[in-house]
Amino acid sequence: MVEKKYILKNEVQRFDDGTNNDEHIKDIIKKAEMLYDNIQDNNDICIQIYNDRKNKKVDEDVLDALQIACQNSIEIEKQAGEIMQAIEKYASQLDRTSQPALETLLNQTIILEKKSKKIMESALSI
């Protein structure tokens, strides 16, 4: 395998597989941002469903279930927001040492996005 050389933060690093570079780190950040946008959209949909059902004066049990779904969705968005703040911290570094932390944060964001999607889908079915 050809050894590749990348310059990050004014120092020379050598990597065998080419994944520990600033472009890969930027891709991780972009994916996390996209997932966070999805979480925000899912939360907005959940709240819109609640408001629509509330305006139609549906049964209180339905509204209670939707309210719980919205609260869970809001909590997930808050957690994802905290993760995004941590990602922004690492994004400002853009060095090799930030990649493992960014990948961990990305994985947490993926899990939250899946939970958010399930909550939104359950709200749609109520």
In a domain, 15, yes or no: no
Taking the C-alpha atoms of residue 83 and residue 70, their distance in angstroms, rounded to an integer, is 20
> Quick one: which of 44, 2, 22, 38 has its CA closest to 110?
38
Model confidence at 8, pLDDT cuts 50, 70, 90, reads: very low
The residue segments making up the domain with residue 60 are: 21-125
In a domain, 4, yes or no: no
In a domain, 7, yes or no: no
Given the structure tokens 């964001």, which residue do they identify?
Answer: 109
In a domain, 1, yes or no: no
pLDDT digits (tens, 9 = 90+) for 27-69: 888 999 999 999 999 999 999 999 999 899 889 999 999 999 9
How many folded domains does the chain comprise? Answer: 1
User: What is the number of helices (H) and of strands (E) in the chain?
Assistant: 3, 2
Taking the C-alpha atoms of residue 41 and residue 38, their distance in angstroms, rounded to an integer, is 5
